Structure 1
Amino acid sequence: MPRARSILVRFVLAPAVLAALAAGIAGGLLRAGVALPAGGAWLGAAVSAHAFLVICAFMGTVIGAERAVAVKRWPAWLPPLASGAAGLVLLAGRPAGAAWLAVGASLGFVGVNLVVLGRQAALHTALLLAAALAWAAGCLLHALAVLPGAVVPLWFCFLTLTIAAERLEMTRLMRRRQAAAPALAGILAAMVLGAALSGVQGGLGGLLYGLSLAALAAWLLAFDIARRTLRAQGLSRYMAVCLLLGYAWLFAAGLAWGGAALGLPLRDAALHALALGFVFSMMLGHAPVILPAVARVKLRFGRAFYLPLALLQASLALRLLGGGVDARLLAAGALGNAAAIAAFALTVAGAALAWRFGRAAPRPAPAENDT
């Protein structure tokens, strides 16, 4: 099974994930006003379905594969296979087929999380199930072409609830105030309600959604273990830096989302502070741990991991602070975002090679006087 899983991840899921991410980045660059060489019909699909590619085809597949590893049952691999195929079908010019594949993937993912909840009944596993249900609801609305205003907020609920659940699991042994868990449940319930209301009452739903994002950021900053591990060394400190930066961007995304709901021109800031500032910062922080577990790829952590993180933060600040006043700054920031993701991919590849060759290199023989 481990060998079969490795083959599945490396030669089936990885190409689909990379295609979805590359197409999503290309679509995002075009949306930001960056001129790209003609790429055929798939490029038009990448522009119109940017969110679908990044959230459903890319993130849905990555999270689905991570959950399949945890469940250790072969049917759990069907949802990530379906979501990965959805991205390829979309780029092949079949958006309706891709939408229904995503519905199937998300419903299958609900089933996987029911298994997880059955094995361990806890608040964080209940939140993982709620995240899967939010993804399924968004995918179903998308496939049926109804209540379009709720689709993207529900998809972001999928990512945000998943991250909140994983952070809650990591901090479950910490001493927290008795009201902390009910407060988190209330914040996340308000987020889902805001997402649903966005389909029928965009202003009210968007305002509630934005306030809940900001409240979640405050909760995470107050109770997450990252505040303690920031004083650690090596990978633990790097992860803490990624997490705390992500929480700051989550707070900014909440304010921008609420402002956009009130009519301010902050939609790009809201979407990308959440998607890039929060979600991708979380990905950069967790990848050195997740990749060895999912793809069986060992990484040697080093300071080079801070370079793409710094580039992501700087380019995102340029995009969100300057993009509203100068379209060239928006385009430059978007290019920097893409460069940060590419730099992180190269850093991971270099870390994998460093671990492999460092492990294979013979150690020098000790001197005669060494003990």
Structure 2
Amino acid sequence: MSSPAATAARLGVAIVLGGMLVAAVLGGLLRAGAIGLPLAGSEFIGRAAVLHAALMLSSFLGSVIAVERAVALRQRWAYLAPLCGVAQGACLLLVAGPLSFPLAAAFGVLAALCFVAVNVVLLARQPQAHMVVMFAGSLAWLVGNGVYAWQQDAGLALLWWFAFVVLTITAERLEMARLMPRHPLSRPLLMVALLCLLAGLVTAMFDLRHGCLLFGVALLMLALWLVTFDVARRTVRTHGLSRYMALCLLSGYGWLMLSGLAWMVQALELEQGIALRDVALHALALGFVMSMVMGHAPVILPAVARVKVLFGPWFYAPLALLHGALPLRCAGAWGHPGLRSLGALLNAVAIALFVLTMLGSAWAWRRQHQHAEAPSHPA
């Protein structure tokens, strides 16, 4: 593929992914009651609200993660995974009629199959523990998309999609943990947590309540493992980008703990089950996953999109807004729809602000280096 064609392809995928993110966020706002007419009456936004989980977890995050792995593999066929993930989201949002879901389901399964193949090759190249966990995450995406295609509902697939994202993040942090002296209990404790996660996913196929209980236990165990053994414990005492990333990671681990507890309690407490499920979902999806996105994006974006960013203190603004608004989002689940809507709206603003921060920082880096490279003219 020629360089202009490659650039055009990357730009096209980025635009579609951006549109998918906007649709998913607007759908989430509609579900939270944070937007009203005329947006609430839009068929497009209504569809995005119904498909919120599939769009955000499988189509958007799945495609973004698949792009990063395709770049690591450096083979053109690997880009089939993110392209099919994008096609899945496009079918869900844009294709009307009876063919919409079958097409989306087929693209979703194909995307995950390609992604599994990518991870098989990467694992063969680098047979290490973090690659095994990454491969397990790809299988979780495949099973989740398969369950979604089979049941035509995100209820059970949601657990597998979350497992896909959590395992991918854990694999990346496990890779970084190699920089620290290995504690003899590190790998055995991680293995126990991962086995508990697998047990929860399999149990949920037959008994959703007990499966959610085990799923929550696994999330709590993984959060404790990450807090204990992640290199972020050291880098948080540094400065600049390293400190910012560490704060993103450690704050995300706190939300992962809360999510694990909420999954456990909502599986046992029937009266508050709906409210706790809302906390479990959004502490995980916003508090943990979005914190990881904000923390890793300044490093991953230059490697994937070949765009460098200028780091500065302004990066803390969307992070602070995300974590400041999320308690409102969670508290609103207990009969306070106003708080729920406000928290959801502020979380959406935090995501938008982060996107603008990344774009502005990329522009600032380019402008700074253009001035630095400009030839000086003698007076």
TM-score (norm 2): 0.92
Against the structure 1 CA distance between its residues 17 and 44, is the aligned structure 2 distance closer, same or farther, given a 3 Å change threshold?
same
Q: Where do 5+ consecutive residues of structure 1 fail to align?
A: 367-371
Once the two structures are superposed, the pairs formed by residues 175-324 of structure 1 within 5 Å of their partners are 175-262=181-268, 263=270, 264=272, 265-324=275-334
Which residue number corresponds to residue 25 of structure 2? 25
Which residue number corresponds to residue 54 of structure 1? 56
Which residue number corresponds to residue 352 of structure 1? 362
- After superposition, the C-alpha distances for 1:265-314 in whole angstroms (9 at most, x for unaligned) are 30110000000000110000000011111111110000000000000001
Q: Which amino acid aligns with 1:23?
A: A
Which residue number corresponds to residue 9 of structure 1? 10
Shift of 1:363: 7.7
Please tell me whether the aligned partners of residues 149 and 198 of structure 1 are also in contact (alpha carbons under 8 angstroms).
Answer: no
- Output the CA distance in 1 between the equivalents of 2:310 and 2:154: 43
Against the structure 1 CA distance between its residues 56 and 149, is the aligned structure 2 distance closer, same or farther, given a 3 Å change threshold?
closer
Shift of 1:95: 2.3
Once the two structures are superposed, the pairs formed by residues 55-204 of structure 1 within 5 Å of their partners are 55-92=57-94, 93=96, 94-145=100-151, 149-204=155-210
Q: Which amino acid aligns with 2:370?
A: A
- State the aligned residue count: 365
Moved segments of 4+, more than 4 Å: 146-149, 362-366
Against the structure 1 CA distance between its residues 239 and 2, is the aligned structure 2 distance closer, same or farther, given a 3 Å change threshold?
farther
- After superposition, the C-alpha distances for 1:103-128 in whole angstroms (9 at most, x for unaligned) are 10001100000001000101110111
- After superposition, the C-alpha distances for 1:309-345 in whole angstroms (9 at most, x for unaligned) are 0000011111112442311000000001100000001
- After superposition, the C-alpha distances for 1:139-197 in whole angstroms (9 at most, x for unaligned) are 00110117964310010000000000000001113112212112102201211221222
Q: Which amino acid aligns with 2:353?
A: A
Please tell me whether the aligned partners of residues 147 and 199 of structure 1 are also in contact (alpha carbons under 8 angstroms).
Answer: no
Which residue number corresponds to residue 337 of structure 2? 327
Please tell me whether the aligned partners of residues 148 and 199 of structure 1 are also in contact (alpha carbons under 8 angstroms).
Answer: no
- Output the CA distance in 2 between the equivalents of 1:164 and 1:276: 17
Q: Which amino acid aligns with 1:219?
A: W
Q: Which amino acid aligns with 1:18?
A: G
Instruction: For residue 176 of structure 1, give the secondary structure of its aligned residue in structure 2.
Output: coil
- Output the CA distance in 2 between the equivalents of 1:275 and 1:108: 24
Against the structure 1 CA distance between its residues 343 and 62, is the aligned structure 2 distance closer, same or farther, given a 3 Å change threshold?
same
Which residue number corresponds to residue 369 of structure 1? none
Which residue number corresponds to residue 42 of structure 2? 40
Please tell me whether the aligned partners of residues 62 and 80 of structure 1 are also in contact (alpha carbons under 8 angstroms).
Answer: yes
- Output the CA distance in 1 between the equivalents of 2:108 and 2:263: 26
Q: CA RMSD in A?
A: 1.8
- Output the CA distance in 2 between the equivalents of 1:286 and 1:5: 24
- After superposition, the C-alpha distances for 1:8-31 in whole angstroms (9 at most, x for unaligned) are 222x21112112111110111011
- Output the CA distance in 2 between the equivalents of 1:5 and 1:296: 12
- Output the CA distance in 2 between the equivalents of 1:342 and 1:96: 32
- Output the CA distance in 2 between the equivalents of 1:175 and 1:107: 36
Q: Which amino acid aligns with 2:182?
A: R
Q: Where do 5+ consecutive residues of structure 2 fail to align?
A: none
